[in-house]
Structure 1
């Protein structure tokens, strides 16, 4: 059940991060990176790894985009 909740949290975070890929809208990445952190914590509490891995992939891609845009120095 926690794995399903973690996957749903990851799917909610995905539109925020996709929105942040548009130039001059990178501010949404800061909010969008908080959601997969919560999803990864919930996924770590479950017995399966799929939800945790999904949120970690979303988190890494969003952080990489933020670093390339100069948001994280």
Structure 2
């Protein structure tokens, strides 16, 4: 679960960088649920993984959380459209 959430977060981060372009900013509406699914996968990985093997899941949770925060911030700046 940790590796999946980490890869999911990397894809979401790349998508977020693309969504920072003004005309493509509306894709943040799709990015937020995508990153939320990654965060849920990471949370499951953190909760149900042995103690010493949680690093990737925690990293995925942090990356997906950052992506969600930036996407919401970007939608706020653009009025939900740009």
**Superposition TM-score, scaled by structure 1 size:** 0.85
Q: CA RMSD in A?
A: 1.5
Equivalent residue pairs, number: 71
Gaps of 5+ in 2: 47-53
Following TM superposition, the consecutive aligned residue runs of length 4 or more in structure 1 with deviations greater than 3 angstroms are: none
Q: Do the aligned partners of 1:19 and 1:28 also contact (CA within 8 Å) in 2?
A: no
Within 1, Cα distance between the matches of 2:18 and 2:3? Answer: 24
Does the alignment pair 1:5 with 2:4? yes
Q: Deviations over 1:14-36 (max 9, x none)?
A: 22211211112111111111211
Gaps of 5+ in 1: none
**Superposition TM-score, scaled by structure 2 size:** 0.77
Q: Deviations over 1:15-71 (max 9, x none)?
A: 221121111211111111121100000000113222111111111011111111111
User: Highest CA radius of gyration, 1 or 2?
Assistant: 2
Q: Do the aligned partners of 1:6 and 1:51 also contact (CA within 8 Å) in 2?
A: yes
Higher RCO (CA < 8 A, seq sep 6+) = 2
Partner of 2:49: none
